[in-house]
Chain A
Amino acid sequence: MINFSSQKKWIDTMIRQFLLNPVNIALALLLLVLSYLVLWPFFQLVLETLTWGEGDRRLSRDAVPGEFTWFHWLQATASPISEKMLYSPLVNTLITGMISTVLALLAGGTLAWCVVRSNMPGKGWLQPILTLPYIIPSFAIALAWETVFRSPKVGGQPGLYESILGVAPPEWISYGTIPISITLAIHYFPFAYLLVAGALATIDSQMEESALISGAGKLTILRRITFPVVAPAFVAAFILTFGKTIGQFALPFLLGAPVQFHTVATMVYANLALGLDSLAFVLAVILIAISLVSIWLSNRFIKKKSGRFETIGGKGFRSREVNLGSWRWPVFITVALFAFIVGILPLILLAVQSIMLIDGFFGLENLTWHFWVGTSNPDIAFGEPGVLHNNNIIGATWNTLKLASLSAVIASIIGLIIAYIVVRRSDNPLANALDQIAFIPFLFPTIAFGAMYLTLFAEPVGPIPALYGTFTLLVLISVVSRLPYSVKTGVTAVTQIGKELEEAAEVAGASWSMRFRRIVMPLASSGLTSGMMVSFVGVMRELSLIILLITPSTRVLMTAGFGYAEEGLTQLSNALVLIVAILTILGELILWRIGKGRMARLREKLD
């Protein structure tokens, strides 16, 4: 006999128990909030491109605000302005993306091999320098390029190249495809380097040694064994790097806009500046589509290949260095020179230029500390005081630190909670969904993500106030954009905490909050702090994510620097970007120290 009323009661109890469990409440709440902050904005963005806006009345007589229309898509794809608005930026995006990715991979792959597998000297200190270009804002590299190759043809003072050689550099070297591709490559090669180095480190040299015993030469081994094994990582690195380059905004804007060279990302910004919001949103959607396709391709590729190429570690795993012989020192000198040029020289150039009274005039008598410590002087830089006296900049510094630390702390803690739910409730499909949603911001090119929040928070919706122009909005978008990373760090941290450690506390009678506070948090803390530092540095150097959402009162160092660069106040923008670069490097150093401390502690445990 089935007792229906008792069954119903049973179900009631189950529901009550579900709701009484704080983990379940957190799960439900996070799902709701993240859906609103991640999925809904995307939906809104697409919706916006398909409806008439208030401002469209001046574009078309048919415009009925709020009604459905294909107008913006047609305007972007099949109108007289499509060529300029979409097709040429699209071609530019793809070409610069391709060239820079190929260059980045060539440089990154070669360097990874030299550092991981060869006996090149000086690896220890070359490695951090080689990652510098990726640590500092991409924008800094563009500014450094301009310092050297600025062409007076487009206005302003001459660059270092012209001052030394006496002739202006050809325009194709100053602006457009070539400089954008090269600077993008400089910024992203460390990314490719890290990916390939990771793959190379997993190769068991016994594979190569057995080829050696069969009589194969060094080059044959490289070609037939080493390269095929890292090939999947190489392709994945290619696609991921490409996906990142297309979302870049500030760099192509600085080196392209002066000659009307646009990429899709810069076009989003330009259209918004012109008030063509819907058109900008169409471009943002297209940008997201490209990014989705590239990441989908990379995932497909990794899935297909990785199983087959899984190299098995563990027992008998050895990694032997390849002897470069008489090439050891030439290789070292080449790598060191390269590291200097891409890692250190840009910072020196920025520093030097920030102390030149008249930009582009290279002489000792032209040096001044004015742009750092000077007070307002109407004859210099439209009376803008030096960065250390400039209230705008002091405010921006304060905002930067506030934004970066707040976002880092919030993102890490929420990331840890999400990770906890994802790991401990892996059999719950809702937890899985939460994991997926938290990852989605990774798929959005940052400028497009900014565009989404622009549409979503322009007006109040229900209980949620209009957040446009507030500092809260900046924190919100920074936190959400960091979630894919912080959840990943969190998952690593929580996975390492054995389930039994918590169960032991549970049997002792500790409540969930006590367990989270006294067991999970302390054990995850080292992972958590390094994750926080990564986010701190990441938010600090972020520009394209927030450039659309910044107002004068909420400006941060990066946007202030970008503003000065747009106005042609090179010294001030250099000084600001240099400050950000130094702050990020400091952050990385602290991170490195934390990591080292952790390694030391681990080693202690092993002994």
Chain B
Amino acid sequence: MADIIIRNLTKKYGSEKALNNVSLEIKSGEFMVLLGPSGCGKTTLLRCLAGLETPDQGEIIIGDTVVFSSSEKIMSPPGKRNVGMVFQSYALWPHMTVRDNVKFGLDVLNTPKDVSSETLDSVLLSLGMDQLEDRYPSELSGGQQQRVALARLLATKPPVFLMDEPLSNLDARLRMDMRVELKKFQSESEATTVYVTHDQTEAMTMSTRVVVMKNGEIQQVASPGNLYHQPNNTFVADFIGMPRINLVNLNKVDQDSTFFKNTDVQIDVGWIPDSNEIVLGVHPENLVVTKEKAKSSEKYSVTAVLPNGPETIIQLTRGETAVIARVAHDSKYIVGESIYVSYSVDSLNVYDAKNGMIMHPTKK
């Protein structure tokens, strides 16, 4: 229901840049996930949006309103930004009942009593908390507390939801259930959502788009599918995917060849990248593993076999080069066995070893 535009945002803590010239546009109704390792600036960015941190430079526009602008000296306080926030700890007020917790936001807005109690009833009912409205937060389970935090959002119906790792305090099973519920909740409310997490599964399953951050800078903004299949650089490639993507350092064989090699392996990338040293990114499921020698395959030896339900992860080495492959659960490999691996040209991502950026085949 509201676009969010972030322009050249910089936030420093001392000399440390928590955010470095970050620009981002989030479309109305989008579920945008900020993803990155701890200390990457994702939470800082979220708190800047909420108005809980004052950036040093840049501009933030929510809907039609400029809520922060360093050049125009605008810094609207959190309460005036029309956003709702779910905190990592839920931040439920322990001295208030469930109902009072949800009601607080309406009180601040001076909502008339009858309107407020009507809203409360419907919000609590929609989240299945109507039976528990007189309980205190300490008397609720983790999942129920989570729902109260969501009810607080719904009560004032802000056009923007900000969520700071809201699922990280739940146990693994509950987290799965809540993921589904949260996604439904968001799409029904149609609010623009910015969601911070360090859990890539959460990011991939819930978002419409993902922002990957590192050291206060945006690495890539993409849909979950694009992010997985075409990571922008080696950092993103390495960060996304479970098990991790294989990154193999290779050198050009000669100027006109599509072949690259290192001391152990030689791989055909299918085109001629404009760099002598590259890093090849290939997801474990895209390695073609065969027991018999096939065309353009090389011999590897199996060093570890890790069965994992429907699939099996195997670790392979050839000289100093180690890769991981994902194979069907019924493939029978044993440690020490020799097998053959080939790389399918259309599933390879090629990165320039000098800067780690992705390279595309130039169309001639």
Q: Interface residues, chain A, CB within 8 Å of chain B?
A: 6, 9-10, 13, 17, 498, 500-501, 503-511, 514, 518-519, 522-523, 605
The proximity string for B residues 224-260 relative to A, scoring 1 for CB distances below 8 Å and 0 otherwise, is 0000000000000000000000000000000000000
Contact of A500 among B80, B89, B108 (CB under 8 A): B89
- Asked if B185 is at the interface of the complex by the 8 Å CB criterion, the answer is no
| Smallest CB gap from B164: residue in A | A500
- Asked if B345 is at the interface of the complex by the 8 Å CB criterion, the answer is no
In the complex the two chains form, is A523's CB within 8 Å of B95's CB?
yes
| Smallest CB gap from A3: residue in B | B71
> A522 and B105 in contact (CB under 8 A), knowing A9-B73, A507-B52?
no
| Smallest CB gap from A514: residue in B | B108
> A504 and B87 in contact (CB under 8 A), knowing A509-B105, A605-B138?
yes
Chain A residues lying within 8 Å of B70, measured Cβ to Cβ, are 10
In the complex the two chains form, is B78's CB within 8 Å of A507's CB?
yes
* CB-CB nearest 4 A-B residue pairs: A509-B79, A500-B91, A504-B91, A508-B105
Contact of A501 among B51, B93, B105 (CB under 8 A): B93
Report Cα–Cα, A592/B94, bound state, in Å: 23
Chain B residues lying within 8 Å of A498, measured Cβ to Cβ, are 89, 91
In the complex the two chains form, is A501's CB within 8 Å of B91's CB?
yes
Given contacts A9-B73, A506-B78, 5 further A-B contacts (CB under 8 A): A501-B93, A505-B104, A507-B81, A509-B80, A510-B79
Report Cα–Cα, A336/B91, bound state, in Å: 49
The proximity string for B residues 160-200 relative to A, scoring 1 for CB distances below 8 Å and 0 otherwise, is 00100000000000000000000000000000000000000
In the complex the two chains form, is B73's CB within 8 Å of A10's CB?
yes
What is the CB-to-nearest-CB distance from B147 to chain A, in angstroms, rounded to a whole number? 15
> A510 and B108 in contact (CB under 8 A), knowing A500-B91, A504-B91?
yes
Chain B residues lying within 8 Å of A519, measured Cβ to Cβ, are 93
Chain A residues lying within 8 Å of B79, measured Cβ to Cβ, are 506-511
- Asked if B115 is at the interface of the complex by the 8 Å CB criterion, the answer is no
Report Cα–Cα, A523/B87, bound state, in Å: 19
In the complex the two chains form, is B85's CB within 8 Å of A507's CB?
yes
| Smallest CB gap from A525: residue in B | B95
What is the CB-to-nearest-CB distance from B92 to chain A, in angstroms, rounded to a whole number? 8
In the complex the two chains form, is A503's CB within 8 Å of B91's CB?
yes
In the complex the two chains form, is B80's CB within 8 Å of A507's CB?
no
| Smallest CB gap from A601: residue in B | B138
> A510 and B104 in contact (CB under 8 A), knowing A500-B89, A519-B93?
yes
In the complex the two chains form, is A507's CB within 8 Å of B73's CB?
no
What is the CB-to-nearest-CB distance from B243 to chain A, in angstroms, rounded to a whole number? 32
The proximity string for B residues 109-153 relative to A, scoring 1 for CB distances below 8 Å and 0 otherwise, is 100000000000000000000000000001100000000000010
Chain B residues lying within 8 Å of A17, measured Cβ to Cβ, are 75
- Asked if B315 is at the interface of the complex by the 8 Å CB criterion, the answer is no
In the complex the two chains form, is A506's CB within 8 Å of B95's CB?
no
- Asked if B29 is at the interface of the complex by the 8 Å CB criterion, the answer is no
| Smallest CB gap from B84: residue in A | A507
What are 23 inter-chain pairs, A to B, with CB distance below 8 A?
A10-B73, A17-B75, A498-B91, A500-B89, A500-B91, A504-B87, A504-B93, A504-B152, A505-B93, A505-B108, A506-B78, A506-B79, A507-B51, A507-B79, A507-B84, A508-B105, A509-B80, A509-B109, A510-B104, A518-B104, A519-B93, A523-B95, A605-B138
In the complex the two chains form, is B108's CB within 8 Å of A508's CB?
yes
Report Cα–Cα, A141/B79, bound state, in Å: 58
The proximity string for B residues 27-45 relative to A, scoring 1 for CB distances below 8 Å and 0 otherwise, is 0000000000000000000
What is the CB-to-nearest-CB distance from B299 to chain A, in angstroms, rounded to a whole number? 49
| Smallest CB gap from B149: residue in A | A504
> A503 and B87 in contact (CB under 8 A), knowing A508-B105, A510-B108?
yes
